[in-house]
Structures are given as structure tokens and as C-alpha cells.
Structure 1
Amino acid sequence: MTATSRFTVDTNILIYAVDRSDQAKHMIAEKIVRILIARRAKLPLQCLNEFYRATTRKRLLQPVEAEMIVRKYMLFTDIEAATPEDLLQAMSLHQQDNLQFFDSLLICSAIRTGCTILFSEDFQNGRTFGSLTVHNPFTMEDAELHLLLS
């Protein structure tokens, strides 16, 4: 990652950081989240909404535990809410690229906030959306992930 590169994450990274059922993914996600917090990186509010819902619905966490983690992210990352312009662009992206709507909204918000890297397992690895490139950290070699995070 260059000095001008900034990264953000999709909700699945946050979930794997607390879900120990797949140790390999858990370790990678935990590493990414530690760096996310250390750099006070951008984190979409949408991801916190989805994280709370998914972890409590799947019973990975008790509601009070999920809330504590959400509050930690709110304290130690730069939370970015979607804007009306993000919404308009997301609707267009959704229609043009046949993406899930909330994935489109995440992409548009990330681009607006200056992120150039999105870590996610839900998109084609290496796919670009304008200045944003999606990377699946779970299919990368350690050296490649380290380079993107350094």
C-alpha cells in the first residue's frame, strides 16, 4: 500500500475477526482489524450495522458483546456514513453492474472517502471500481497481504 493508499473492509472481515470457526480466516481478519484500528482507518457505518445484525442473528455474539465491539470501532476508527450522493451513485452502480445494492453503497462510500483498497471475500478478487480495488485477503499469499497493509 502506498502512502496515498487507504483501505477499508467489508463486513465479512469484521465477522471473521470474532468468528473462530475458521481459524485461518479468523487470524487474517484479526490482523487486518488490528491495523484498521491502529491507523484509525475509515469504516463504513453500514458495516457496523451489518456486523451487529449478523453476529447476533447467527448467535456468534450476545447482543451486549456485539454492542461493545461496535462501540470500540466507533471509538478507534473513522466512521463514515453514506451520503445522499453515495445513494444516487450506488443505485446507478447497482443497475449497471448487477451488484447487490448494499455492496454498491459500500463501494460508493469507500470511493468518496478516498479508500483505494477494499478487503472483502464477496467480490471478484482484483476487481476495480474507479479508484477502488477489491482484494480477497483469504486467497492472498502472506507477503502480498503484508505489502497491501504496510
Structure 2
Amino acid sequence: MPGNFFDTNILLYLASGDVEKAEAADRALALGGTISVQVLNEFAHVATRKMGFSAQEVHSFLNTIRSLLDVIPLTVDIHDMGLALAERFKLSIYDAMIVAAAISVNSDILFTEDLQHGMKIGGLSIVNPLRQDP
């Protein structure tokens, strides 16, 4: 079933002190969807290293996220697809792995600020929930 997939930056904005970005992230996440273990790992890294979260705060935030969204594991197939996508579309390896994970669960929308809004990769549409169209 098609659905939504969320990149790490959407979770980071939800946890940020920026009200506008947090509200945009909250609206997107309210639609439900999926993340990968990569997203959990990246969030934990940035939250502790750059946002000053304690280990307990990271656990609490991610437990809440895990109760709201489906989480898929990283697999060798996702890794291989990500490598191919990175090469074909000139994506960073990390962005390509997110795209590959989204494609692996037949998502039709990837919410991210890291890729070009409106870009299509196969049946996957890139949507920047922070973009404010005129």
C-alpha cells in the first residue's frame, strides 16, 4: 500500500526549538507513515551531538516516534538499491539509502528537506513540508 516515508530532518525539526518548522513537521508526521532504522540512528546522533539531548531524552523521543510510525530495518537489498540510486541520480549515499528504504515499502511520498521538492524517483515524489509556495 502506498504511503509516506520520513527523512531524519523531519524528526529533527519536530524536536527543534523552531516553532514554524516543528509545526510543519508535526503536520506531515500526523499523516502517518514509515521510517527506517537509519532515521532512528541519524536522529540519535544529531540530537545528542548537536542538540544537547540526554540519552534519556533521545530514548523518550524515539520511543514516541516508534509508537507513531512504522520502522523498517536496513537490509542488504536496500543497501544495494541505495548504491544504484546514488550513482544514477547523483545522490549522497545517506540520501540514497533513505530513498531506497522508501521505495522498498512502496511509499509514494518522501518528506524531506534534503532533496529537491517535486523531484520524482520512480513512483516516489519528494515533498518538502517546510516549503511555503506563493
Q: Do both share a fold (TM > 0.5)?
A: yes
Partners in 1 of 2:68 and 2:104 — Cα distance? 20
| Counterpart check, 1:30 vs 2:26 | yes
Q: Which consecutive residues of structure 2, in runs of 5 or more, have no partner in the other structure?
A: none
Partners in 1 of 2:16 and 2:53 — Cα distance? 9
**4+ residue runs of structure 1 moved beyond 3 angstroms?**
none
Partners in 2 of 1:43 and 1:18 — Cα distance? 16
Query: What's the TM-score, normalizing by structure 2?
Result: 0.91
Determine which of 38, 43, 46 is the counterpart of 1:46.
38
Determine which of 79, 82, 97 is the counterpart of 1:87.
79
Determine which of 95, 99, 112 is the counterpart of 2:91.
99
> Displacement of 1:60 after TM fit?
4.2
In the alignment of these two chains, the number of paired residues is 134
Query: What's the TM-score, normalizing by structure 1?
Result: 0.82
The verdict on how the C-alpha distance between 1:60 and 1:134 changes in structure 2, with shifts beyond 3 A counting, is farther
Partners in 2 of 1:113 and 1:100 — Cα distance? 20
Partners in 1 of 2:51 and 2:132 — Cα distance? 29
Determine which of 7, 26, 29 is the counterpart of 1:10.
7
Q: Sequence identity of aligned pairs in percent?
A: 27
Q: Which consecutive residues of structure 1, in runs of 5 or more, have no partner in the other structure?
A: 142-150
